[in-house]
Amino acid sequence: MPLEIERQFLVRVRLLPALEGGRRIEQAYLSASPEVRVRMIDDKAYITVKSDGSITREEYEYSIPVEEARSMLRLTPWFPILKTRYRLPLDGHVWEIDRYDAENEGLWSAEVELASEDEPLELPLWLGDEVTQEGRFKNKNLAQMPFATWPDRELFVAVIRG
């Protein structure tokens, strides 16, 4: 069974090194539990199914035809997630840094995949608070309750602007 083990953090944008080669991502959720996501990255498309959980989850991802993905993106009852993803190799890990747009504009987060939940991890200075255990930062929840609607949004924006 394929497992995804990852941690998620807010990003202090002003402390980030220069980022290059960002890839545009559009994704939509067809189900929240289990999580069923359709994603477009450049000219490729995927459907992903993930189990519930916070750090470790089962994950199944398959390539699908782009035209079918475009049709599926319209099936969601929630907001699409639009973001630009940057990949930053650092200390033997690859950090995926997401800058969100549209209803989630202003939010920046970073995720890192690990080999185990207790794997030692050197945290870069540009990371803010860890939000792995905070469900509202999961993309499936941002689709249902976007960052722009959070009453305490400005507290997080202050951290992100750092």
Q: What are the start-end ranges of the E strands in the chain? A: 3-11, 23-32, 35-41, 44-50, 56-63, 81-90, 93-100, 108-113, 127-130
- Tell me the per-residue pLDDT of 124-161, one tens digit each, with 9 for 90 and over: 999 999 999 999 999 999 999 999 999 999 989 888 88
**So what's the pLDDT on residue 123?**
97
What pLDDT shows up at residue 29?
Answer: 97
pLDDT tens sequence across 9-60: 999 999 999 999 999 999 999 999 999 999 999 999 999 999 998 889 999 9
Query: What pLDDT, on the 0 to 100 scale, is given for residue 159?
Result: 84
Q: What are the φ/ψ torsions at residue 154 (nearest 5 degrees)?
A: -65, -30
pLDDT tens for 106-125 read 999 999 999 999 999 999 99
| Model confidence at 1: pLDDT above 80 | no
Domains of the chain as residue ranges with CATH? 3-161 (2.40.320.10)
Judge whether residue 76 has pLDDT over 80: yes
49/62 Cα distance (integer angstroms): 9
Active site residues: 29
Q: For 58-87, what is the mean pLDDT?
A: 97
